[in-house]
Amino acid sequence: SEMNKLWVRMQHQGHSREREKREKERQELKILVGTNLVRLSQLDSINVNTFKKVVLPGILEQIVSCKDAIAQEYLMECIIQVFPDEFHLETLNGFLKACADVQQNVNIKNIIIGLIGRLAQFAERDPTGIPEDVQLFDVFSDKTAEIIQNRSEMPVHSIVALQVALVNLALRCYPTRSDFVDKVLETTADVFSGINLEPLEYNSETCKELLKLLKIPIDSYNNVCKILELPHFSALLDYCDLNSKKLISSYILQNALDNETLIDSEERVDSVLHLVSSLVMDDDSDSQGAKVTEDPEDFLEEQWLMARFIDLLKSEELDNQYIILNMAKKHFVKGGPRRIEFTLTPLVFAAYSLATRYAATRESDDKWDKKCQKIFQFCSQTIMILSKADLSELPLRLYLHGVLVASETKFDKAEGFAYDFISQAFTLYEEEISDSKAQLAAITLIMSTVERARCFGEENHETLRTQCAVASSKLLKKPDQSRAVALCSHLFWSSKPQDGGRRIERC
Amino acid sequence: MLVLVIGDVHIPQRTHSMPAKFKKLLVPGKIQHILCTGNLCTKETFDYLKTLASDVHIVKGDFDDNLNYPEFKVVTVGQFRIGLCHGHQIVPWGDVEALAMVQRQLDVDIMISGHTHRFEAFEHEGRFYINPGSATGAYSPLSSADIHPSFLLMDIQAATVVTYVYQLIDDEVKVERIEYKKPVPAS
Buried b (16+ CB within 10 A) or exposed e, B130-158: bbbbbbbbbbbbbbeeebbbbbbbbebee
A310 vs B62: CB contact, 8 Å cut-off? no
CA A23 to chain centre: 51
Classify residue A50 by burial, with Cβ atoms within 10 Å: 0-12, 13-18, 19+. middle
Specify the higher pLDDT residue, B187 or A332. A332
Nearest neighbour of B13 by CB, restricted to A301, A307, A444: A307
**pLDDT, tens digit, for every residue of A369-392?**
999 999 999 999 999 999 999 899
Residues of chain A in contact with residue B65, where contact means CB-CB under 8 angstroms, are none
Residues of chain A in contact with residue B95, where contact means CB-CB under 8 angstroms, are none
Contact of A227 with A252, CB cutoff 8 Å = yes
- What would you report as the CA-atom Rg of chain B, rounded to the nearest whole angstrom? 15
Instruction: Name the residue of chain A whose CA is nearest to B42's CA.
Output: A304
Touching check for B143 and chain A: CB below 8 Å?
Answer: no
Strand order, beta sheet including B2-6: B55-58, B33-36, B2-6, B150-157, B160-169, B172-181
Name residue A35's beta-bridge partners: none
Nearest neighbour of A349 by CB, restricted to B14, B17, B142: B14
A405 vs B15: CB contact, 8 Å cut-off? no
Touching check for B17 and chain A: CB below 8 Å?
Answer: yes
Touching check for A341 and chain B: CB below 8 Å?
Answer: no
What percent helix, strand, coil does chain B show, rounded to 5?
Answer: 15, 40, 50
Whole-model pTM: value is: 0.88
Interfacial A residues in 302-321 facing B (CB < 8 Å) = 304, 307-312
B139 vs A307: CB contact, 8 Å cut-off? no
Mean pLDDT of B5-9: 96
B12 vs A311: CB contact, 8 Å cut-off? yes
Q: Which strand (E) or helix (H) includes residue B172? A: strand B172-181
Interfacial B residues in 59-98 facing A (CB < 8 Å) = 62-63, 88-89, 91-93
Q: Is the dihedral of CA A149, A155, A157, A161 positive or negative?
A: negative
Residues of chain B in contact with residue A490, where contact means CB-CB under 8 angstroms, are 91-92
Query: What percent of chain B clears pLDDT 90, i.e. is strictly above it?
Result: 84
Classify residue A479 by burial, with Cβ atoms within 10 Å: 0-12, 13-18, 19+. exposed
Predicted local confidence at residue A1, as pLDDT: 46
Count A/B contacts: CB-CB distance under 8 Å: 69
Q: How far is B156 from chain A (nearest CA, A)?
A: 34
Say what the ipTM of the complex is: 0.93
B13 vs A308: CB contact, 8 Å cut-off? no
Predicted local confidence at residue A334, as pLDDT: 93
Closest CA to B141 of A83, A379, A483, A144: A379
Predicted local confidence at residue A141, as pLDDT: 86
Predicted local confidence at residue A269, as pLDDT: 94
Closest CA to A135 of A89, A184, A189: A89
B141 vs A445: CB contact, 8 Å cut-off? no
B141 vs A257: CB contact, 8 Å cut-off? no
Touching check for B169 and chain A: CB below 8 Å?
Answer: no
Predicted local confidence at residue A22, as pLDDT: 53
Q: How far is B67 from chain A (nearest CA, A)?
A: 10
Instruction: Name the residue of chain A whose CA is nearest to B116's CA.
Output: A452
pLDDT-flagged residues of chain A (< 70)? 1-30, 33, 37, 39-47, 50, 54, 66-68, 129-130, 132-133, 284-293, 493-507
Interfacial A residues in 214-273 facing B (CB < 8 Å) = 257
Predicted local confidence at residue A497, as pLDDT: 47
**pLDDT, tens digit, for every residue of B87-136?**
999 988 989 999 999 999 999 999 999 999 999 999 999 999 999 999 99
Pairwise CA distance, residues A215 & A251, whole Å: 8
Q: How far is B4 from chain A (nearest CA, A)?
A: 24
Touching check for B185 and chain A: CB below 8 Å?
Answer: no
Q: Is the dihedral of CA B90, B141, A449, A349 positive or negative?
A: negative
